[in-house]
Amino acid sequence: MGFWFEIAISVIGGTALGLLYFGGLWWTVNRIRNVDHAVGFYLTSLIIRAAVLLLCLFWLLQLGIVNLFVAVIGFFAARLVMVRRLGFSRQLSLKQKTGAT
């Protein structure tokens, strides 16, 4: 494979991993109030998310350390996007409920 193709795979893979990991965290936090065993629910979610993340990052490491670094950049870029998209709307709704300015 060509160098730029591997870099593109790493960026896409890292971004997808970030969306999956932080999307799973968001889903867990939103559902945790409705489950009987919150700690078990959270720990199960954490273990699944961490296992998928580590397995995929290990696979990307097989392409090289540069590709792993690029994937990690894509991972944190996805985090920034999700925090801005989901976090901002959540803060707005909390301000509206409490009447804060």
**Domain boundaries of the chain, sorted by first residue:** 3-98
Q: Specify the higher pLDDT residue, 46 or 33.
A: 46
Rounded to two decimals, what is the model's pTM? Answer: 0.79
Question: Could you tell me what percentage of the chain is helix, strand and coil, using 3-state DSSP and rounding each to the nearest 5?
Answer: 90, 0, 10
Kindly report, residue by residue over 41-72, the tens digit of the pLDDT: 999 999 999 999 999 989 988 988 999 999 99
> Average pLDDT of the chain?
87
pLDDT for residue 33 is more than 80: yes
Sign of CA dihedral 50, 52, 16, 4: positive
Q: Are 60 and 13 in contact (CB under 8 A)?
A: yes
